[in-house]
Amino acid sequence: MELFNKNIAEEVAKNLLEIKAIRLNPESPFTWASGWKSPIYCDNRLSLSFPEVRNHIKHALVGAINENFPGVESIAGVATAGIPQGALIADEMDLPFLYVRSKPKGHGMENMIEGKVTPGQKVVVVEDLVSTGGSSLKAVQDLKNAGFEVMGMVAIFTYGFDIARKNFEDAGIKLICLSDYSAMLPQAVALDYASDQDLKSLEEWREKPEIWGK
C-alpha cells in the first residue's frame, strides 16, 4: 500500500476537504457501520459533482495505472462508489470496463460481475476509499475466480490502517492510493478545518480506531 505521488496526495486531500468530501469532527464523532467511532467521514462520491476535482482525480488515477500497471487490458470498478470512477478511467484510457457487485444480482442472470468476462484478461481494480480492505479484496477474489489476471488496485483515499496494509500484503495485491490520512491532516490544519489541538485526537484515532472514543 503506497502513495502514487506526494504532491498529488496533498492536492487531492486539499480538494476533498474543500468540497467537504472529507469531514472532520473529533468533538462529535461519526459512527461507522462497524460500530467504530470516527472523527472523519469520507464520501469521495461528492467529487463527481465538481468537474475540476473530478478531472484531477481521473487524470491522477490514470497516471498511477500507467506507471504501476503497464499492459493493463481492462478496468474494474468496485460497487458502488468505484463504478463511476472506474468508468471515467476506462473511457479516458479507451479500455473495456466492468464492475463487481458486493453480492450476486438477485434476479435475471444473477451476475456477480457486470460486463464482458474475458478469462486471462489483465485488469486493474478501482476503489474510491480503502478502510480495512475487506470488501476491496473480496472484489479482487471474485475477479480471479472469474478468470481475470488482477494486476493490482488504485484508490482515491485510504485511512492507512495497519490491518489494511497487512490484508493487501497477505493477498499479494499492490495498492496505489492518491492520498491518505497522513497527507490529509496537515492540509486540514492549513485550511482551518482542524486545530493543532485536534491533531492529537485525530492521530490517536489513526493508531487505534477500534477503541477510540470509548
Q: Which residues are annotated as a binding site?
A: 101, 105, 107, 127-135
Q: Which residues are documented as binding site for 5-phospho-alpha-D-ribose 1-diphosphate?
A: 101, 105, 107, 127-135
CA dist 143 → 77, 95, 126, 131 (Å): 11, 17, 12, 20
CA dist 78 → 65, 87, 98, 114, 127 (Å): 16, 11, 9, 11, 6
Pairing status of strand 97-100 against strand 74-78: parallel
For 64-77, the DSSP string reads HHHHH-TT--EEEE
Q: Which residues are documented as binding site for orotate?
A: 131
CB atoms within 10 A of CB 1: 22
How far apart (Å, rounded) are the C-alpha atoms in residues 73 and 97?
A: 10
Residue 47, CB half-sphere, CA atoms under 13 Å: how many? 27
